[in-house]
Amino acid sequence: MNFDTASLPPVVQNMLGYALQVWDIAKVWVLSPAAWSQFGLLLAAFAASYVLNKRLRPLLERILTPEPGKTSILSTIRRFVLIFVPLLLPLLAWGFTAIGEQATRALFGSGAVIAFGKRVFLLLAARILVQEIITDVFLRVLGKTILLPIMVLYALGLLDYATAYLNEMTVSLGNIEFTVMAVIRGVIAGSILFWLGRWSNDQTGSYLEKQEELRPAARQLATKAAELTIYGIAFILLMSIIGVPLTSLAVLSGAIGVGLGFGLQKIASNYISGVILLLEGQATVGDYVELDNGMAGTIVQTTARAMILETYDGRWIVVPNEDFITTRVINYSDQGSTNRYEVPFSVSYKTDINKIPDIIESAVAKHPAVLSDPFPPDCEFRAFGDSGVEFAVEFWVNGIDDGRHKFSSDVGFLIWNALRDNDIEIPYPHRVIEMRTPDT
């Protein structure tokens, strides 16, 4: 049946042309003895692969499975290789088919059918890779939307045609013109590069966090520097892959510099302040700090722009890094240094105050968190008050007197019990009221 295709759209004409080519190839394969022999070889290769896979796969799984709990490098490598065992069947079939292809080309001078089968086995391997092996959500989506369609085109022998067609399609944005193939190549390369960047950044961060000989601030600075380096290299590689000359980035960097100078001053200031804080190590994750404006909390996270403080009531406060540089900051933690606190109290004027220091100091020293170094508890006379003699006991502890620690409260109880056990009165205000009556 003949019909005129000239009136059809070019895309439809191309599809019809490819369909006719496939029909002609199918008729040749059906009527050719060489094609039937290649089909037989494909079936034999798959059958041999299936039998060999049934025998080899349990053996490989037993060899590659490490003992539970082992974390050595060899065990890690074995676990990684074990993930790819499901690819054994299609790869064995591909290998046997490649051997059969050489034989058929030597005997018949043709191997189109068996070459098609070899590509189908690779498509099967790609499908198993995406469906069963890849666990990362982003990579799985990338495999389903990009890898599998490419492998289908490759198996059908249409990949070269599709590539040529996409290279002819152009997209214009003002004076810039690029092909659809360049866009697709950029998306694929960018996705892979930045996924690798994220993965390598996570691995680098985990490695640096284990280096306990480095100060926490130094570890954070090294992590940030590694992150900038990794993503910078990924960006430069992506520009090279999609064909953007690196010299043109000078114009972009100039524009960014102007933007920083006018609209992004605060962001730039906070970023530079964050680098200074990491270099000096004056405040890092885990420190309890109090700012000049009264805000206080434990630093739970540092970012390029700000530090996040968590208060003891569970609230998070985002403090710009610049505030840590331009204002006064009290760091109570300072990487585990001790802190001094005091608890005031008073005793009655009837008391022999010469006994008070020994009684209170020995009582406070019994608290398990109170330190004897740098100084033991010290009870000091402060003043003759309105209602009694005023004292205060100073003591040193590791940590902050808030949240899970209640040092001052515990010491207050110890003082009360010590004074009560020694029959020492704690005074309270007394007032004398004179009632006068007018002379009559």
Pairing of strands 329-331, 338-347: unpaired
Higher pLDDT, 17 or 66: 66
Higher pLDDT, 405 or 54: 54
Pairing of strands 338-347, 389-398: antiparallel
| Cβ 311 vs Cβ 403: under 8 Å | no
CA separation for the pair 202, 65 (Å, rounded)? 25
pLDDT score of 28: 54
Residue 43 burial by Cβ neighbours in a 10 Å radius (0-12, 13-18, 19+): exposed
pLDDT score of 301: 78
Asked if residue 2 has pLDDT above 80, the reply is no
For the chain, the C-alpha Rg in angstroms (whole number) is: 39
Give the phi and the psi of residue 177 in degrees, each rounded to 5: -135, 130
CA nearest neighbour of 301 among 183, 379, 220, 229: 220
Cis peptide upstream of residue 66 (ω within 30 degrees of 0): no
Higher pLDDT, 208 or 255: 208
pLDDT score of 194: 74
pLDDT score of 321: 82
Domains of the chain, each with CATH number or no CATH = 32-168 (no CATH), 179-265 (no CATH), 266-331 (2.30.30.60), 338-421 (3.30.70.100)
Higher pLDDT, 204 or 415: 415
What tokens does 181 get? 């193939």
Under the banding of pLDDT at 50, 70 and 90, the label for residue 347 is very high
Under the banding of pLDDT at 50, 70 and 90, the label for residue 212 is low
Beta-strand ranges (E) seen in 212-363 are: 288-291, 296-302, 306-310, 316-320, 329-331, 338-347
- Mean pLDDT within 219-235: 71
| Cβ 348 vs Cβ 360: under 8 Å | no
CA separation for the pair 372, 107 (Å, rounded)? 94
Predicted confidence (pLDDT) per residue in 78-116, tens digit: 888 888 888 888 888 888 888 877 776 666 666 677 778
Predicted confidence (pLDDT) per residue in 241-293, tens digit: 666 665 655 555 665 666 555 556 677 777 777 777 776 667 777 778 888 77
Residue 437 burial by Cβ neighbours in a 10 Å radius (0-12, 13-18, 19+): exposed
Tell me if residue 423 falls in helix, strand or coil: coil
Q: How far is CA 267 from CA 101, 253, 320, in A?
A: 63, 16, 9
- Mean pLDDT within 152-178: 75
In the chain, % of residues over pLDDT 70: 73
Query: How many CB atoms are located within 10 Å of the residue 390 CB?
Result: 17
- Mean pLDDT within 132-147: 82
CA separation for the pair 65, 76 (Å, rounded)? 10
Average pLDDT of the chain is 77
Asked if residue 335 has pLDDT above 80, the reply is no
Helices (H), 109-179: 112-128, 137-142, 148-155, 159-168
Predicted confidence (pLDDT) per residue in 359-387, tens digit: 999 999 999 888 888 889 999 999 998 88
Give the phi and the psi of residue 107 in degrees, each rounded to 5: -85, -45
CA separation for the pair 242, 228 (Å, rounded)? 21
pLDDT score of 1: 45
